Every structure is written in C-alpha cells, then in structure tokens.
Amino acid sequence: MSARLRELDATIANVPVVDSARVNEIKQAIADGRFKVNADRVADSLIENVRQMLNARPAT
C-alpha cells in the first residue's frame, strides 16, 4: 500500500497548481480587449467565499 501512496504522491507533485494554458488564454484576451468581467458572478463568488469562511470559523 505504501508504494501506491508514494506513486500517487509523485503523480500529484507533478500536477501544476495553475493551469498555465488557461492563464495564457486569459492574458491574451485581456491584451486583445476581449476579456469581460461578469460583476454579478464575481460578487456572488465573493459572498459565497465569505459564507464558507464564516461557517468554518470555530464557535466562540
């Protein structure tokens, strides 16, 4: 079992945390003036993140 865990750990270590292709795609869209920000989506995501952080806080 530990050999399998080491194998999985090595595989995960080689997976990039950032999708470089997607980052480059967005950079190019910004440079071309094609990148559009959906303010409603950004606001909803921020609110959801705050909810999750508040729910994760230990009770005082």
pLDDT tens by residue, 7-25:
888 888 888 788 899 999 9
3-state secondary structure of 29: helix
Closest by Cα among 35, 17, 39, 15 to 26: 35
- DSSP-H helix ranges across 1-60: 2-13, 20-32, 39-56
Q: What is the pLDDT of residue 16?
A: 79
- Would the pTM count as exceeding 0.85? no
